[in-house]
Amino acid sequence: MAVFLSTFLPDTDAESKVQLVATGLGKQPSKEENATRYRLVTEADVKNIIKPRKEFSHKGTYGHALIIAGTTQTMGAALLAAKGALVGGAGLTTLTIPESGLVALNTALPEVMYTKRKALLKEKALDKYTAIAVGPGIGKGAKAEQILEQLFSLKREFVADADALNILAGRPDLLNKIEKHAILTPHVKEFDRLFGAHENWWNRLQTAIRKAVELGVVIVLKNQYTFIVSQRGEVFINPTGNPAMAQGGMGDVLTGLITAYIAQGYSSTDAAILGCYIHGMAGDELAKDRFNITASQLAEQIPRSRYQLQSSDS
Ligand SMILES: NC(=O)C1=CN([C@@H]2O[C@H](COP(=O)(O)OP(=O)(O)OC[C@H]3O[C@@H](n4cnc5c(N)ncnc54)[C@H](OP(=O)(O)O)[C@@H]3O)[C@@H](O)[C@H]2O)[C@@H](O)CC1
Ligand SMILES: Nc1ncnc2c1ncn2[C@@H]1O[C@H](COP(=O)(O)OP(=O)(O)O)[C@@H](O)[C@H]1O
């Protein structure tokens, strides 16, 4: 039976009702499906993308994730993003937060290393990191903007979330020279701050497609069904996740998770597809026996979800 894009949008419009959605990324599409850019991600697709942990591997095999996040008031966002990188399997994770968060970091996440914000401003400071995320709870102040400028001047690609997106919304000069393969992970408000207000989700999605192609980035437009828009303008629709996950901090975990997959060598599009699918899958597993899920609980579930994907048949 044909599936149309309108199924995955929270509002209605005439256009999305006639846009076909193909199932799966890899299988040979039927003639009519072939014409569509919209594809529903399946478990089989995700299994094709994920790589097993290798024999004789060590922490160096799985990359080094740097998370730039947090202010004194939003240290939780930073800790959750770092936790996302840990549970996503990055070999090493370093967090840079204000010093006031150090006790919390060492208590809550002893596996995570720390580096001073100022250290990131040095010339070769970022060389050792294989993936970088910036934004969760970082605020919109001058210091956060300076760090973002440093990433641009060193021509590093990164995962931009939350306040990094809010800063970029006011800095089109930076946004327009963003490194190819960067990943932007806005929720609806952040998206509209970046690219202007939209009348409905169909229009918003068309802007996401145009901007992903124009800027050469992957846009992860978050919602119940998250849209992952590739640099080629393909739209991958994530089917996992549920309303029990509608609690603060959930997106921070996703940012860390996607960053961990980049650190492990996945392409930007694959890292985003994997991250969204496994994040939602963990939520679906937990929602079987509880009313709501906290971001910390979800993070704890992620290694199990990834294990299930690898070990189940189909
Ligand atoms: N523990 C911590 O330290 C945490 C810190 N955090 C950090 O705080 C900073 C501010 O982030 P933020 O996202 O809360 O603020 P902001 O961008 O104004 O958006 C909020 C409004 O947007 C809307 N909205 C959002 N999603 C939507 C959706 N799917 N669908 C529809 N609407 C949606 C919704 O608006 P409403 O519908 O209520 O009008 C909501 O009220 C940021 O740096 C972040 O990292 C958080 O991560 C939490 C944990
Ligand atoms: N009803 C829902 N169904 C599926 N996923 C959801 C639902 N509500 C929230 N999520 C997921 O939780 C995350 C929320 O991200 P975000 O709004 O950035 O949160 P925060 O800023 O609080 O960390 C997204 O990945 C989104 O897809």
Give the strands of the sheet with 227-229, arranged side by side.
Answer: 3-4, 20-23, 38-40, 235-237, 227-229, 218-221, 183-184, 159-160, 131-134, 64-68, 92-96, 113-114
Judge contact between 81 and 298, C-beta under 8 A: no
Three-class secondary structure of residue 220 per DSSP: strand
Beta strands in the chain (DSSP E): 3-4, 20-23, 38-40, 64-68, 92-96, 113-114, 131-134, 159-160, 183-184, 218-221, 227-229, 235-237
**pLDDT digit string (tens) for the chain, length 314 residues:** 789 999 999 999 999 999 999 998 866 556 665 678 999 999 999 999 999 999 999 999 999 999 999 999 999 999 999 999 999 999 999 999 999 999 999 999 999 999 999 999 888 889 999 999 999 999 999 999 999 999 999 999 999 999 999 999 999 999 999 999 999 999 999 999 999 999 999 999 999 999 999 999 999 999 999 999 999 999 999 999 999 999 999 999 999 999 999 999 999 999 999 999 999 999 999 999 999 999 999 999 999 999 999 887 65
Q: What are the angstrom distances between the C-alpha of 281 and each of 22, 174, 305?
A: 21, 35, 7
Distance from Cα 11 to the centre of ligand 2, integer Å: 17
Which atom of ligand 2 lies nearest, measured to the CA of 253?
Answer: 23
170 marked among binding-site residues? no
User: Any idea which residue has 């828009």 for tokens?
Assistant: 229
Show the tokens assigned to 291. Answer: 């009313």
Question: Which residue, 237, 294, 245, 239, is CA-closest to 83?
Answer: 294
Q: Does residue 245 line the site of ligand 2, with CB under 6 A? A: yes
Gap between the Cα atoms of 284 and 76, Å rounded: 23
Q: Give me the DSSP letters along 57-86.
A: --GGGG-EEEEE---GGGHHHHHHHHHHHH
Gap between the Cα atoms of 187 and 206, Å rounded: 15
End-to-end Cα spacing for the chain: 21
Q: What is the pLDDT of residue 126?
A: 94
222 marked among binding-site residues? yes
301 marked among binding-site residues? no
Q: What is the pLDDT of residue 32?
A: 60
Best mutation site among 105, 189, 227, 238 for ligand 1, i.e. most ligand atoms within 8 A of its Cβ? Answer: 189
Q: The pTM is what?
A: 0.97
Best mutation site among 9, 140, 187 for ligand 1, i.e. most ligand atoms within 8 A of its Cβ? Answer: 187
Residue ranges of domains in the chain, CATH in brackets:
34-49+57-311 (3.40.1190.20)
Gap between the Cα atoms of 101 and 74, Å rounded: 10
Give the amino acid at 47.
K
